[in-house]
């Protein structure tokens, strides 16, 4: 079994793959001050929770956008397993040409999501990843990642609004607003958060599609609530494990490298 690990600012997700099949996926809350020992314990507990153990792991691959945790997570993996561990970054083949100013600055999760999306659909593509930040990247018809945008995620934006005001309550962005003409504070916040984010995405996607030649398949992953996706006018394919799938695809592509 190949263990895939994606380290994000809010969550760490883990998946186990065998013979091109996802056996399980699990998620931890990111702890920026967690030690390698603490993470080793948590990772082993997740394996057990999913009916697996150390001996089942034949290899591992790590993608991280939290530099302070890359070292501790790698150390935790080496403490648990005597197997080959790859880290997404310069030197690994992805099958995707990065046509941006500084490829080293591209988040591992976006690269992996784009790789997985290309396994499913022909380019051009737009990939949306939502965690603490909302990131959108474009892949043109030549399989070149050509750029995109980064902005605050919907939950982060809502949290900032709540913290900066005296009387606004926390709300659930998974709610499906019936109308933009909300009639109480909670529904006003939900309509603004859900419908406002959907309109923003539609507007950005319209610009993406124009620059990509008019048509592109849109993939989304991360914590983009179904209420927001269903409120978008642009068709969006949601894939919960898109980043983990991309990590596994990169592992296979680099399997024969020494």
Q: Do residue 129 and residue 231 come from a single domain?
A: yes
**pLDDT at position 178 over 90:** no
Choose the weakest-confidence range: 43-47, 181-185, 216-220, 254-258.
254-258
- What pLDDT digit, counting tens, does each position of 3-18 carry? 999 999 989 999 999 9
* 3, 57 contact by CB (below 8 A): yes
What percent of the chain clears pLDDT 70, i.e. is strictly above it?
A: 99
- Domain total for the chain? 2
How many whole angstroms separate alpha carbon 92 and alpha carbon 252? 11
- Whether the upstream peptide bond of residue 70 has omega within 30° of 0, thus cis, is no
The sign of the torsion formed by the CA atoms of 206, 212, 213, 215 equals negative
CA dist., res. 202 & res. 213, Å (int):
16
Which of residues 69, 87, 105 is at a domain's end? 87
Q: Are residues 106 and 83 in the same domain?
A: no
Which residue, 39, 57, 87, sits at the end of a domain?
Answer: 87
What CATH number does the domain containing 28 carry? 3.30.420.40
User: Is the separation of the CB atoms in 245 and 2 below 8 Å?
Assistant: no
Residue 123 domain flag = yes
What pLDDT, in 10s, does the model give residues 77-91? 999 999 999 999 888
Q: Are 165 and 217 in contact (CB under 8 A)?
A: no
Question: Does residue 258 carry a pLDDT above 70?
Answer: no
Q: Is residue 258 domain-resident?
A: no
Contacts with 253 (C-beta within 8 Å, 6 or more apart), sequence order: 92, 93, 94, 95
Q: Supply the pLDDT for residue 169.
A: 93
Residues 111, 66 share a domain: no
- 218 in a structural domain: yes
Q: Is the pLDDT of residue 64 over 80?
A: yes
Residue 257 pLDDT? 55
Where in the sequence is the domain holding 164, given as residue range(s)?
97-245
DSSP secondary structure, the chain, as one string: -EEEEEE-SSEEEEEEEETTEEEEEEEEE--TT--HHHHHHHHHHHHHHTT--GGG--EEEEEES-HHHHHHHHHHHHHH--SEEEESSTTS--S-EE-SS-GGGS-HHHHHHHHHHHHHSPSSEEEEEESSEEEEEEE-TTSEEEEEEEEE-HHHHHHHHHHTSSSPPP--TTS--S-SS--SHHHHHHHHHHHHHHHHHHHHHHHHHHHTTS--EEEEEES--HHHHHH-SS--EE-TTHHHHHHHHHHHHTTT--
pLDDT tier, 127 (very low <50, low <70, confident <90, very high otherwise): very high
Residue 253 lies in a domain: no
Mean pLDDT of the chain: 94
Phi, psi of 224 (to 5 degrees): -85, 105
pLDDT of 236 above 90 = yes
What lies within 8 Å, CB to CB, of 15 at 6+ separation is 3, 4, 22, 23, 24, 25, 26, 241, 244, 247, 248
Q: Could you read off the pLDDT of 192-213 as tens digits, one per residue?
A: 999 999 999 999 999 999 999 9
Percent of the chain with pLDDT over 90: 91
C-alpha distances in angstroms, 93 versus 87, 88, 89, 90, 253? 11, 9, 9, 8, 7
* pLDDT at 148 exceeding the cut of 60: yes
> Whole-prediction pTM value?
0.92
Please identify, among 87, 108, 135, the residue that sits at the C-terminal boundary of a domain: 87
Q: State yes or no: pLDDT of 177 exceeds 80.
A: yes
């Amino acid at each position: 079994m190949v263990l895939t690990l994606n380290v994000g600012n809010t969550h760490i997700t883990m998946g186990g793959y065998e013979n091109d099949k996802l056996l399980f996926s699990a998620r931890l809350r990111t702890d920026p001050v967690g030690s390698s020992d603490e993470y080793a314990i948590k990772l082993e507990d997740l394996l057990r929770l999913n009916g697996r153990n150390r001996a089942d792991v034949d290899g591992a691959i790590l993608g991280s956008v939290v530099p302070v945790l890359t070292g501790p997570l790698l150390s935790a993996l080496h403490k648990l397993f005597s197997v080959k561990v790859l880290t997404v970054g310069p030197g690994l083949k992805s099958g995707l040409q990065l046509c941006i100013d500084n490829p080293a600055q591209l988040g591992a999760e976006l690269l992996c999501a784009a790789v997985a999306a290309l396994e499913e659909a022909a380019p051009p593509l737009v990939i949306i990843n939502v965690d603490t930040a909302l990131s959108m990247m474009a892949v043109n018809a030549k399989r070149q990642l050509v750029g995109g945008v980064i902005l605050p995620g919907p939950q982060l934006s809502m949290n900032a609004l709540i913290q900066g005001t005296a009387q606004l309550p926390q709300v659930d962005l998974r709610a499906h607003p019936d109308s933009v003409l909300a009639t109480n504070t909670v529904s006003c916040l939900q309509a603004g958060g859900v419908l406002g984010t959907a309109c923003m995405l539609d507007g950005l996607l319209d610009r993406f599609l124009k620059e990509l030649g008019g048509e592109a398949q849109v993939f989304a992953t991360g914590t983009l609530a179904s209420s927001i996706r269903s409120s978008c006018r642009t068709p969006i394919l949601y894939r919960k494990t898109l980043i983990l799938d991309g990590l596994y695809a990169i592992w296979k592509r680099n399997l024969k490298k020494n």
